[in-house]
Amino acid sequence: MINAALVSFGMSGKVFHAPFLDANPNFNLVGSWERTQKNIQSIYPNAKSYATYEELLADPIIDLVIVNSPNDSHYAYTKSALLAGKHVVCEKAFTISSAEAQELDELAQKKELKLAVYQNRRYDADFMTLQKLIVEEEIGNFLDIQISFERYRTNLSPKAHKEAVTPGAGLLYDLGPHLVDQALVLSGMPLAVFADIRITRKVSLVDDYFSMILYYPSHRITLTSGMVFMTSLPAYKIYGTKGDFIKNRSDVQEADLIAGKKPYTPNWGEEAATDYGTLYTDHNGLITNRIVPSIAGNYGIFYEKMADAILNNAPVPTSAEEGKNIIRVLEAARNSAFNKRVVGV
């Protein structure tokens, strides 16, 4: 078994990581670093609460460290874990700069350790269904792609680190990595980026809106996210030479995890039929449409792949190289917004 420990048992540890580590027979959730509140044993009685990060890293039974702390600590905590001889899963955003990401990638390779970036939105029902349609050649060549992640939160987040003026804070580095990762999975690295990044709420000190266009030789991908959308438009608008796919963002996993539902229970990740997307196709000038049942989402796939990587030397689910490329796009977006111009990647 792979003995794993969390850097934090806040929301991300409790909701996105611990349930899947606990449900996967290849992992043993040893414990978590808990600074003030000691909560992990109330849910996992056999887990250990580490008083310091140094204590966690010094524990010889730990094989894997999940770095799920605020963005500005990812580089330092991941580097320390690698130097201690531990495999690492680092939350998004991987690092603040692509230079930091490159250094961590090289260190992991030198130490012959597995380093992965936690990009769980690859395993949303929405995105998995889209990828199935692409494999089945229902979309054809891309003409235009629009992906959005809208929220309506006029107050500040109770997570202070997300609203403070610190490196890696703000919506671009919060939801941006999800959207950019999906774009890169679909089309690879863009040639250039044009971005608009703004503060739209009077109470906000960090960016809470962005829109960016990724330029490719044959098509464009537009990514949009904001905190003041009272109603959400379709999150996925995919236009191709053979078909168009339109779908709302409706993956149920996060809500179910927050409500305490356990992964791999009956109907896990299954969307309601009312949330299914629609595929439009042209048959000799006659446009028809059909409802496409969604594949069940499953964030557990990430840790299934991570176990395979550690135990069988398979590829990690999201590599440090992929994580670095996401940061390169975010850096180009910030450069573009500041200078009000298209920036090459």
Distance, CA of 238 to CA of 147 (rounded, Å): 8
Closest C-alpha to 210, from 201, 192, 223: 223
3-state secondary structure of 6: strand
φ and ψ of 140, to 5 deg: 80, -155
Topology adopted by domain 121-301+329-344: Dihydrodipicolinate Reductase; domain 2 (3.30.360)
CA–CA separation, 180 and 162 (whole Å): 19
Q: Quick one: pLDDT at residue 78?
A: 98
For residue 104, the surrounding DSSP H or E stretch is helix 98-111
* pLDDT reading at 137 higher than 80: yes
Evaluate if residue 165 carries a pLDDT over 90: no
| Stretch(es) of the chain classified as CATH 3.40.50.720 | 2-119
CATH class of 2-119: alpha beta
Residue 300 clears pLDDT 80, i.e. is over it: yes
pLDDT higher than 80, residue 161: no
**Cα-to-chain-centroid distance, residue 1:** 25
Task: Write down the pLDDT at residue 209.
Answer: 97
Residue 163 above 90 pLDDT?
no
Q: What's the start-to-end Cα distance of the chain, in Å?
A: 41
Q: What is the pLDDT of residue 239?
A: 98
The C-alpha angle with vertex 224 and arms to 273 and 241, in degrees rounded to 5, equals 65
What contacts 335, CB < 8 A, 6 or more positions away?
Answer: 343
Tens of pLDDT, residue by residue over 64-78, are 999 999 999 999 999
Q: For position 233, what pLDDT does the model report? A: 86
3-state secondary structure 135-193: HCCCCCCEEEEEEEEECECCCCCCCHHHHCCCCCCCHHHHCHHHHHHHHHHHHCCCCEE
Q: Which residue has the tokens 């048992």?
A: 9
What was the pLDDT predicted at 150? 92
Mean pLDDT of 129-147: 98
**Which amino acid is it at 3?**
N
User: Does residue 103 have a pLDDT over 90?
Assistant: yes
* Structure confidence at residue 203 (pLDDT): 92
What average pLDDT does the segment 160-175 reach? 88
- Give the residue from 105, 128, 113 showing the smallest Cα distance to 309: 113
19 and 44 Cβ atoms separated by less than 8 Å: no
- List every span in the chain annotated with CATH 3.30.360.10: 121-301+329-344
Give CA angle at 169 (163, 174), nearest 5°. Answer: 100
Nearest-5° angle of CA 199, CA 168, CA 325? 110
Report pLDDT digits (tens) over 109-127. Answer: 999 999 999 999 999 999 9
Per-residue model confidence (pLDDT) at position 133:
98
pLDDT in tens, 233-283: 899 999 999 999 999 999 999 999 999 999 999 999 999 999 999 999 998
**Distance between CA atoms of residues 193 and 330, nearest Å:** 9
**Predicted local confidence at residue 82, as pLDDT:** 98
The reported pLDDT for the residue numbered 157 is 78
Q: Is residue 8 within 8 Å of 33, Cβ to Cβ?
A: yes
For residue 232, what pLDDT is reported?
82
At residue 48, the pLDDT reads 97
Side chain identity at 84, as an amino acid letter?
Answer: A
Whole-number pLDDT of residue 18:
98
Instruction: Say what the pLDDT of residue 42 is.
Output: 95
Q: How do strand 87-91 and strand 115-118 relate by DSSP bridges? A: parallel
275 DSSP assignment: G
Q: What's the confidence (pLDDT) of residue 154?
A: 86
For the chain, what is the mean pLDDT? 96
Q: How confident is the model at residue 26 (pLDDT cuts 50, 70, 90)?
A: very high
Q: What is the value of pTM for the model shown? A: 0.95
Residue 162: the pLDDT is 75
Nearest C-alpha neighbor of 50 from the set 25, 24, 19, 13: 13
Report the alpha-carbon angle 204-329-72, nearest 5.
Answer: 50
pLDDT band at 227 (very low <50, low <70, confident <90, very high): very high
- Own/partner contacts of 320-323, CB < 8 Å, gap of 24 or more, are 320/94, 320/101, 320/104, 320/105, 320/108, 320/115, 320/116, 320/117, 321/105, 322/117, 322/119, 322/181, 322/184, 323/90, 323/92, 323/94, 323/95, 323/101, 323/117, 323/119
**Over 80: is that where the pLDDT of 160 sits?**
no
Mean pLDDT of 27-48: 96
Question: Tell me, what's the pLDDT at 158?
Answer: 77
